[in-house]
Amino acid sequence: MKKFYKNKKVLITGHEGFLGAWLAKKLIDIDCKVVGIDIVRSRKGNILSTNDRNKIKGYLCDLSKGQKLNDIIKRENPEIIFHLGAQAIVGEALADPIKTLKSNVEGTWNILESTRQNKAVKALIIASSDKAYGDSKELPYIENVTPLNGTYPYDASKSCTDIVANMYAKTYGLNVCIMRCGNIYGPGDYHMSRIVPDAIVCALTGKVFKIRSDGKFVRDYIYVEDVVMAYLKAAKLLHLKKIQGEAFNISNEKPLSVKKITELIFKTCKADISKIEILNNAKCEIRAQYLNSKKARKMLKWKPSCNISQGLGKTAEWYRASLFNRKLSKKEKGKR
């Protein structure tokens, strides 16, 4: 892996995000030249240090601004692009569908079109999601079997992301592949509307954790470093032209109910599970979704290295250290 990536110029969109920061850090560690594009600079709460940021050439750019984005790609000529930048929060998408569609769909077609026009780019990896499949009676979701059928705003934006990427792969022969993960968790997720960081912070601070649903909704949970490894493996194979136009589900294939994962988190943090409250007022959310990832295991030769207890242990430790070293801002605490 290190030999392949050494000295390669890699662009990450959304490098200030949760997953983007992890990917950037890993790429810096393996001696890549990292360029980043985001709408924020130096976000608090992700895992990037000042030292890491000094090694990233960061641009402030909204992905929906096609000309500016194209100018950056022309100037930088990256060999590999990881397109992660997106409005990634389900509730925010519900509140502002247009902003979400602009970032997620227009942002994606802008990246695809810039890649088509720039011959220096040899591989483009696009972050889609399990949400791109939408509601399905047949579970787990399987690539090339389960249709892309997102109904709600975030889900539909990811179905579109996926379909437009496939259009560029099949029509223009663009060397692009698509990654679909379930819920990613780990240190440095600053989105307190997400279940894992929210439940951990509640458990560590003795607050009541409120489950939006009836607790029976089922999801995949995958540790962030396992996702980073899947992305790195995919980009390498894509660069070698072995997986052009393919989509991959990334999962540890051990789905959990919301109630179960919350209890696991409270136990990991040695907190009182009677402080878990079920609100049962979730709206526009799918009851059960989880992925089959046999294709990624076979073609990418990838498998997760971290089980849920190990992952939650590392994550809780990180939040414990960061919580008791600094106070969370009001915005980080957010509202579920």
Ligand X SMILES: NC(=O)c1ccc[n+]([C@@H]2O[C@H](COP(=O)([O-])OP(=O)(O)OC[C@H]3O[C@@H](n4cnc5c(N)ncnc54)[C@H](O)[C@@H]3O)[C@@H](O)[C@H]2O)c1
- Binding residues for ligand X (CB under 6 A): 14, 16-20, 38-40, 62-64, 84-88, 103, 107, 127, 129, 181, 183-184
Nearest distance, CB of residue 181 and ligand X, angstroms: 4
Element (H or E) spanning 165, and its range? helix 153-172
Sign of CA dihedral 61, 63, 65, 67: positive
If we measure between CA atoms, which residue out of 34, 31, 33, 50 comes closest to residue 42?
A: 50
CA distance 311 to 130: 20
Contact of 164 with 109, CB cutoff 8 Å: yes
Nearest distance, CB of residue 268 and ligand X, angstroms: 19
Looking at 141, 152, 154, 168, which residue is catalytic? 154
* 223 belongs to the catalytic site: no
If we measure between CA atoms, which residue out of 34, 38, 87 comes closest to residue 61?
A: 38
Contact of 37 with 59, CB cutoff 8 Å: yes
Q: Which is nearer to ligand X, 16 or 226 (CB)?
A: 16
Nearest distance, CB of residue 74 and ligand X, angstroms: 18
CA distance 24 to 265: 27
Q: Which is nearer to ligand X, 56 or 63 (CB)?
A: 63
Q: Which is nearer to ligand X, 209 or 231 (CB)?
A: 231
CA distance 158 to 97: 12
Nearest distance, CB of residue 262 and ligand X, angstroms: 16
Return the residue nearest ligand X (CB atom). Answer: 17
Q: Which is nearer to ligand X, 19 or 173 (CB)?
A: 19
* CA contacts within 13 A on the Cβ side of 306: 21
Q: Which is nearer to ligand X, 57 or 275 (CB)?
A: 57
Contact of 79 with 121, CB cutoff 8 Å: yes
Residue 262 sits at φ, ψ, to 5 deg, of -65, -40
Nearest distance, CB of residue 260 and ligand X, angstroms: 17
CA distance 328 to 44: 10
| Positions marked active-site | 154
